[in-house]
Structure 1
Amino acid sequence: MARNPERRVALTDAAIEVLAQEGARGLTFRAVDTRAGVPVGTASNYFSSRDDLFMQTGARIHSRMTPDPAQVEEAMLPAPSRALVAELMHWLVRRMTDDRTGYLALLELRLEATRRPELRAQLTATVRTAFEESAAFHRDWNLPGDHTAFLVLYLAMTGVLLEHFTLPDMLGDTALETLVDAVVERIIPGG
């Protein structure tokens, strides 16, 4: 298999675009080659199978969604509070909106994982690890709310993002910022 790491990143980024725009059925080696602007057959030199392409694309999505540690440090300068949690949730929405393609591709991967047991196992492990890291972050930074509150916040924000990216008109006139504030206010204790 080819070993050029920059080319592999370019190919997985192209795969993310294909997933977001064409869905899992459209994710083929040829589609990735075309989107990446490389000769036909290039992707097959980097991925051993279509399942491998799915799995490496999932890993790349999570890499793209992980915030820069320096930005995290800066975001955590204020004292722990409900207001800080709200700001972190607004930051999450901005990051996901900035990488809308990545978020839509992740949704496509989740759907495809319902049909591919190996992908489901890997995606579950990846998402579970990210969830546990986020829960530890919440706890270690002494943000308000116990583990159950964090879990409910996670699930609520997942739902908010799903609606925002797939059926934004369903929310009607409700501003996304107002909705995020309402979610945090109702789940995270004040004080």
Structure 2
Amino acid sequence: MRQNPARRAALLDAAIEVLAHEGSRGLTLRAVDKAAGVPTGTASNYFSNRDELLTQAGARVYERLIPDDVTIEEQMSGVQDLDKFVELMRETVKRVSGFRTGYLAMLELRLEATRRPELRAVLTKRIRADMDANVERHIQAGLPGDAVSVQLLQLALSWLILEQLTLPDILSEQERDHLVAEAVRRLAFGGLGRDPSLNLGTP
């Protein structure tokens, strides 16, 4: 059966919404049909079973989280100093946390991945590719720090985003911005001294 790529993407986006609002147990082909506003049975024409739907939903989240070409070009241009590094990390936190349902859906998928080897393989491949791409762009741009700095920042900021989306009252926006800047400074420069030209703000 010939499938419509746009319809498939819409169904996967609906699956992401269901995961975020109902959890993995609420994700069924029928629930996706309802969330997408399509006739019952549509999702079953695109996905053979729930496992396939889960796996492809995981890949879809990362498709939507990847910055577009314009954003990447802006990231690679201009002076590549500590200020630029902080700006990039703050933008990343804002962009990822802005896709709230996607991030929450990913948390559900990660839990499911502990029980489903195929889903775990897909998420492992995508997340590792994302980390490697971040490192490559960082090095090509000539930003401060090294590959380990980028990896540690990705891990640290992932948890910061988790706090922001699940327990938003723990930290204020000003505190989050300050922590992003401090994480960049300490990881890129080993925490040695404070760059007086960098506007870190106060917590």
Instruction: Please report the TM-score for the alignment, with normalisation by the length of structure 2.
Output: 0.88
Alignment match, 1:146:
146
Distance, in Å, in 2 between the alignment partners of 1:86 and 1:26 is: 38
Residue of structure 2 in register with 1:100 after alignment:
100
Q: Which runs of 5+ in 1 are unaligned?
A: none
**Letter of the aligned partner of 1:179 in structure 2?**
L
Shift, 1:174, TM fit: 5.9
Deviations 1:45-87 (Å, cap 9, x if unpaired)?
Answer: 1001111101111111111101111121123322111111111
Rounded to whole Å, the distance in 2 between the matches of 1:53 and 1:112 is 12
Partner SS for 1:38: coil
Larger Rg: 2
CA–CA separation in structure 2 for the residues paired with 1:137 and 1:173: 27
Q: Which moved more, 1:35-44 or 1:178-187?
A: 178-187
In the other structure, the counterpart of 2:16 is 16
Identity %: 51
Equivalences for residues 26-175 of structure 1 within 5 A = 26-171=26-171, 175=175
Q: Helix, strand or coil for the counterpart of 2:80? A: coil
The 1:184/1:62 distance shift into structure 2, 3 A limit, reads same
Aligned residues, how many? 191
Structure 2: where are the runs of 5+ without partners?
Answer: 190-194, 198-203
Q: 1:183 to 1:138 in 2, by over 3 A?
A: same
Structure 1 vs Structure 2 CA RMSD = 1.7
Q: Deviations over 1:159-187 (max 9, x none)?
A: 11111111222336862212211211221
Distance 1:88 1:173, change over 3 A: closer
Contact in 2 for aligned 1:2/1:45 (Cα 8 Å): no
Structure 1 residue 143: deviation in Å?
Answer: 1.2
Cα offset, 1:120, TM superposition:
0.6
Letter paired with 1:115: R
> Counterpart amino acid of 1:67?
P
- Report the Cα distance in structure 1 between the residues aligned to 2:156 and 2:40, rounded to whole angstroms: 42
